[in-house]
Amino acid sequence: MDALDRPSTQRPKGKRNAKPPAPGAHGLSARIVGAFGRHYLAQLDNGEVLACVPRGKRAEVVCGDRVVLAPGHPPLAIEHVQARRNALWREDPWRSKMFAANLDRVLLVTATYPGIQHGLIGRALIAAEAADIPVTLALNKCDLPQAAAARAEMALYSGLGYEVVELSVRTAPQAALEALTSLLSGQTTLLLGASGVGKSSLTNLLVPLAQAPTREISLALSAGKHTTTATRLYALPGLPEGSTLMDSPGFQSFGLHHLSVSQLQHGFPEIRARIGQCRFQNCTHRDEPGCVFTTDPQAISAARLALYRTLYAELTSAASR
């Protein structure tokens, strides 16, 4: 994909980048390790952790950012956010939300119960693809009776080339640790997933001192309660230096309005592999004659094609506003 088609790692398309610091400006180099609304924790290069706040109401700072802090008494002012090598966004018609920055991997967690949410998974995979961030899928709660059916559903993603690991965090914690150790070693990994899939339990397993709160699934709604209200970055004990985990709030929606149609199409491995095979070079893969996904129904599953067409309609309707 042409780099010019990608959204800025600083802000979604259409928004200006922050101004760089004035020449000769001095400050404290740090990494954001906690985000609580507009209040942050930053770890200095010497390991000290201090409270800090951004300058200006529209300043966007996220966990994983490298920043320059003004010396003084906490909370220190964030003078500048260094250029990001990547950032994971979601955007709907009402607001943009950056999850985290400077990531090596996304660990996208789903669970046998309350069930595989293919729409959310598909959207998150596309967002990560647009940001050039590798994704590993984790199927949690594999000790439950629904495991066999969920495993069959997840075969869709392994068939597309995504790594899928199976976990039972509550009943087989040691096996879960062993499955994830090589994956997380030396990496900055964002733990991402819908509420109720066991992200907080997984964080508590990987970082025992984190003591992230966990709650039972709401039986009435078959959805998790939002137990994580902040994003935190933790060093992973027992793993090499540089092995860190970000725990993010659970989400129930994932807009992709910050992407272009080209990025959307490249975010589907099935579509990416068939570029140039349709009758028309600018085929939108909806109802054009000679579209490869019409002539070859095996090229993409019906559910994935429906997701693509839904997302295409969202992007094009947003662009026409």
Phi, psi for 193 (deg, rounded to 5): 170, 165
d(CA 102, CA 241): 16
pLDDT of res. 215: 42
pLDDT of res. 53: 93
Give 10-64 pLDDT, tens digit per residue: 455 444 444 444 433 579 999 999 988 888 999 999 999 999 999 877 678 999 9
In sequence order, what DSSP letters do the residues of 120-142 get, joined into one string?
Answer: HHHHHHHHHHHTT--EEEEEE-T
**Going by DSSP bridges, is the β-strand pair 135-140/163-166 parallel, antiparallel, or unpaired?**
parallel
Confidence check: pLDDT of 317 > 90: no
In the predicted model, what is the mean pLDDT of residues 163-168? 98
Entry pTM: 0.86
pLDDT of res. 17: 43
pLDDT of res. 319: 66
d(CA 76, CA 82): 16
pLDDT of res. 283: 94
Top pLDDT among 77 and 15 is at: 77
pLDDT of res. 230: 78
Whether the CB-CB separation of 309 and 287 falls below 8 Å is answered with no
Q: What is the residue-averaged pLDDT of the chain?
A: 86
In sequence order, which residues have a C-beta less than 8 Å from that of residue 110 and are 6 or more positions away?
A: 116, 117, 121, 137, 138, 139, 140, 150, 154, 193, 194, 197
Phi, psi for 212 (deg, rounded to 5): -65, 135
d(CA 227, CA 214): 6
Confidence check: pLDDT of 80 > 80: yes
Give 202-236 pLDDT, tens digit per residue: 999 999 987 654 443 333 333 344 444 578 999 99
Give 237-287 pLDDT, tens digit per residue: 999 999 999 998 877 778 899 999 999 999 999 999 999 999 999 999 998
> Of the given ranges (22-36, 64-78, 291-305), which has the lowest mean pLDDT?
22-36
d(CA 197, CA 216): 10
d(CA 52, CA 18): 18
pLDDT of res. 60: 86
